[in-house]
Structure 1
């Protein structure tokens, strides 16, 4: 696969240099107001007026395509190259326009994924270097979501088929990055509560309450089926409408968000908690109390799991006369019971500069990282069994998003994975890729 990796690198560098050599042909920012479909902002335009007519009557149809081909010419278990993509589509029904029910919407979203993951095929690290790998690489029903806004939008209610990490443990800055250690959400809860929490493109039954306590503060609480994978085989494609048999997932978050925080610039601080009432396996001991890495038996079951997280977002510099500039974030995730938490400590962070190159005001340049620390009890058990022991995995990513039009971007990216899967025996991996995104 070496020639493919080289080709990906050459293409990435060539396209980047060509686009940065000239100022952009478009200068308009993506629309901030209610959608108005046209060929400037959407690749498929307004469908000869039909799309805008449907929107006026309360039916908004959206879609997009993302692909993240990447290769690792250095390090990993072996060198390789993979292609994968995600098509996402959604229909939002504004029930105020359709039926007269005020401030109520009904959302249905679907996803189609295909391709192979570079982490899974070649590198062998724990957290995917391509965030759109997962969910079965097939087509799926994602969300079926009814939402109400009450009391001048101070109270929000949502219920139906929901995705937990769409409402919690999230940041608008995360998906400026390609790796799954940042984009989407910090993945530690998915290791610590296997099959107990959902992320796109998987939905499950749930309900959400959010209260805007002041203009700058909020609190929200939600419950979800704690066993969303129950009966969810590939043939059902997300339409497994039964309830699982491994407890309930509870999530809560409080936050403070202001446009004039530190240095009179936008700030956001969020603190959240996660509690799962189901059963989860021990990371080191089997049901007989012996080392599971020796016996080969499953870990003994523990009742319940819990964790918390902290998100800090801050703008550090504003471009003169614009709302863009340098933003940063840090996220810390804690699940301290090392008996049942494979990744008890997790940290990520990043800096994103929009408009670093003056003649390309909507391009974004980003530098970010994550570090995942594996359980000390698991490490001790691995050592006792004479196996390589997992310590921590770190990924550093640099990328530049080239905003070609409001609906099309390229994001050449470089990642360096340090101690893949927390193991010294896997060589540090250099990853080269190009993400492409199109809004239909």
Structure 2
């Protein structure tokens, strides 16, 4: 028998249904129109052009922003801590307290992101559990950065802590899609007030040419990352393309594990980085990781070692770009998505899946500003694209590709409003398809409810389209009406496409 390529374990624990908020399409349209009206009404509000808040300048993106920032043109080797980000906020000085702390090396930020989505199409007939409705999800995030060089004279040393509190649910499960969330701010946070995302120390040497970080880290905070991804709401794009976190051992936001990474910049526009992260079981489950304050190694089964090289040119002094290529090797037992230890499909034998070690993934990502508005590196038309590949024997998504356009300041009178359109395409592994085909053929023994990945039919490929417009409504406040379209939900041809209207808001409080 030919060896087939990959997917997640058929016996993977199912996620429980969260409380959903059903409602008709009329309610969804009214809600979307109301938020759009609010956005349009805000066009007349005053705008601070000096430090306007934008979707890709948010506190959870601090690690991504650091990766995407080249060295300054006039460089010296003085050891120093890179400046902390301070997004435009509703209360920028924190009533005098935060400005006093920042002068002394302590940076505290607090923000809220809320994401609404509702279906305007009816779900596929014949599935009693699917319904037409809307949902809301969000998070409150806190960041604390401390410059220990300024406080205690520890040259180049800083610490970073991020926590979140998440709430709500996501609409995609209402129409049967478990691959891509309609709202990215959902899950992994344990539905608690405080969930630890990261807590680590970072040493910067040689004027920023070398950076070393150790502690509770998320691998995806530095690798396969970009702050531009969360100009969108859907989970196939926001955070990072979903294929990047296809393996259950990958630590992506808001999950973190023990780890470390080292990044060097041999030249102003070039960086090389590598790291080692614990391959820990159940990162996104509630059993031990609900609050994120789990420090023991009882569920660590190996390590993940990524490598990435990046080139960050600035053409004509006004058109920045970011190009990166990388791969990750993982030494942790991961179930084959088709074969058992006997070499035959476990869908036929009923045996446990074959466990594989030494697996890998690889990626190429880029973004390039094509047009500059008013000769600005911050405003203009940006093209994003990329390709992610997972070893087919141990993945659900064999590969994924994406493309997006982001235009900030397309209207002269609205320099910080942002238009975005993104499309993602995911191809399921052949092993997944083989397993599901065998189970469907013998469905008297393996009914629909027992297919892997919450499938109700054959999973082959899936796509998600999103179009949005983010309005800088006031200082520290963004409102973003959006449209999402799910093609072949859950990768299945037996589920009808789904269209959603929604709205994402982001408020930087401090």
TM-score scaled by length of structure 2: 0.80
Matched, 1:398 2:451: no
- Aligned counterparts, 1:171-250, within 5 A: 171-191=226-246, 193-194=247-248, 196-227=249-280, 229=282, 233=287, 237-243=291-297, 244-250=299-305
Cα deviation digits, residues 291-327 of structure 1 (max 9, x gap): 3445665522112220110011111111134331100
RMSD: 2.4
Contact 2:42 / 2:474 at 8 angstroms: preserved in 1?
Answer: no
- Aligned counterparts, 1:40-55, within 5 A: 41-55=88-102
- Aligned counterparts, 1:59-138, within 5 A: 59-76=106-123, 77-135=130-188, 136-138=190-192
Secondary structure class of the residue paired with 1:43: coil
The CA deviation at 1:203 is 1.2
Of 430, 435, 451 in structure 2, the residue corresponding to residue 376 of structure 1 is 430
**In 1, Cα distance between equivalents of 2:166 and 2:437:** 38
**In 2, Cα distance between equivalents of 1:317 and 1:311:** 19
**In 1, Cα distance between equivalents of 2:463 and 2:119:** 16
When the two structures are aligned, how many residues end up with a matched partner? 433
Matched, 1:15 2:38: yes
TM-score scaled by length of structure 1: 0.92
Of 214, 239, 251 in structure 2, the residue corresponding to residue 159 of structure 1 is 214
The CA deviation at 1:120 is 2.8
Contact 2:318 / 2:375 at 8 angstroms: preserved in 1?
Answer: no
The CA deviation at 1:221 is 0.5
Contact 2:484 / 2:501 at 8 angstroms: preserved in 1?
Answer: yes
Aligned to 1:329: 384
Matched, 1:6 2:75: no
Aligned to 2:445: none
Aligned to 1:251: 306
Aligned to 1:437: 506
Residues 24 and 394 from structure 1, CA distance in 2 versus in 1: closer, same or farther, beyond 3 angstroms?
farther
Q: Which has the higher strand share?
A: 1
Residues 228 and 59 from structure 1, CA distance in 2 versus in 1: closer, same or farther, beyond 3 angstroms?
farther
**In 2, Cα distance between equivalents of 1:375 and 1:14:** 43
Worse overlay, 244-253 or 272-281: 244-253
Gaps of 5+ in 2: 1-22, 58-81, 124-129, 442-456
